[in-house]
Amino acid sequence: MLPHIDFLVRGNLNIVPDFRHEYGKAYLLAGELEQAEQLLMVVLEHRRKTLGDDHPETLEAMHWVAWIYENLGKFQEAEELGILVVNRRKYILGEDHPATLESTGDLAVVLYGLGRLKEAQELLAAVLKTRRHILGETHPDTLRTMSNLAATYVRLGRLQEAEALNLEVLERRRKILGHNHPDTLFSIADLAVTYHHLSRFREAEVLQAAVLEQRNSTLGENHPETMRTMSNLAATYSRLERLQEAEDLESVVLDKRRGILGANHPDTLRSMGNLAVTYNKLGRFLEAETLLVEALKKQKDALGNNHPTTLRTQSNLGSTLNKLERWQEAEDLLVPVLEKQKDLLSHSHPHIMDTINSLAVTFTKLGELKEADDLNEALKRLAV
Q: Do domains 1-115 and 283-384 have the same CATH topology?
A: yes
Residue 50 has pLDDT above 60, yes or no: yes
pLDDT at residue 361, as a whole number: 95
Give the number of residues written for the chain. 384
pLDDT at residue 12, as a whole number: 36
HSE value, Cβ hemisphere, 13 Å, CA-based, for 223: 18
pLDDT at residue 17, as a whole number: 45
Going by C-beta distance under 8 Å and a sequence separation of 6 or more, which residues neighbour residue 73? 113, 261, 264, 265, 266, 267, 302
Nearest of 313, 304, 227 to residue 270 by alpha carbon: 313
Q: Which fold has domain 1-115?
A: 1.25.40
Nearest of 161, 211, 152 to residue 186 by alpha carbon: 211
79: three-class secondary structure by DSSP: helix
Name the DSSP letter for residue 139. Answer: S
What confidence tens digit (pLDDT) does each residue in 318-372 have? 999 999 999 999 999 999 999 999 888 877 788 898 999 999 999 999 999 999 9
CATH of domain 283-384: 1.25.40.10
User: How many CB atoms within 10 Å of residue 91?
Assistant: 11
pLDDT at residue 16, as a whole number: 40
Q: Cα–Cα distance between 33 and 2 in angstroms, integer?
A: 29
CB 350 within 8 A of CB 357: no
Of residues 251 and 375, more confidence is placed in 251
Say which range, 183-187, 269-273, 290-294, 346-350, has the weakest mean pLDDT.
Answer: 346-350
Nearest of 258, 259, 210, 205 to residue 232 by alpha carbon: 205
Residue 9 has pLDDT above 50, yes or no: no
pLDDT at residue 68, as a whole number: 86
Residue 256 has pLDDT above 50, yes or no: yes
Banded pLDDT at 384 (limits 50, 70, 90): low
Locate the domains of the chain by residue range: 1-115, 283-384
Q: Cα–Cα distance between 373 and 361 in angstroms, integer?
A: 10
pLDDT at residue 226, as a whole number: 94
Q: What is the residue-averaged pLDDT of the chain? A: 90
DSSP string, 205-237: HHHHHHHHHHHHHHT-TTSHHHHHHHHHHHHHH
Of residues 347 and 101, more confidence is placed in 101
Indicate the Cα dihedral angle 189, 182, 110, 195, nearest 10°. Answer: -10
pLDDT at residue 4, as a whole number: 52
Q: Cα–Cα distance between 321 and 299 in angstroms, integer?
A: 19
Q: Cα–Cα distance between 379 and 384 in angstroms, integer?
A: 9
Residue 93 has pLDDT above 60, yes or no: yes
Q: Cα–Cα distance between 193 and 232 in angstroms, integer?
A: 7
Residue 5 has pLDDT above 60, yes or no: no
User: How many CB atoms within 10 Å of residue 94?
Assistant: 10
pLDDT at residue 193, as a whole number: 96
173: three-class secondary structure by DSSP: helix
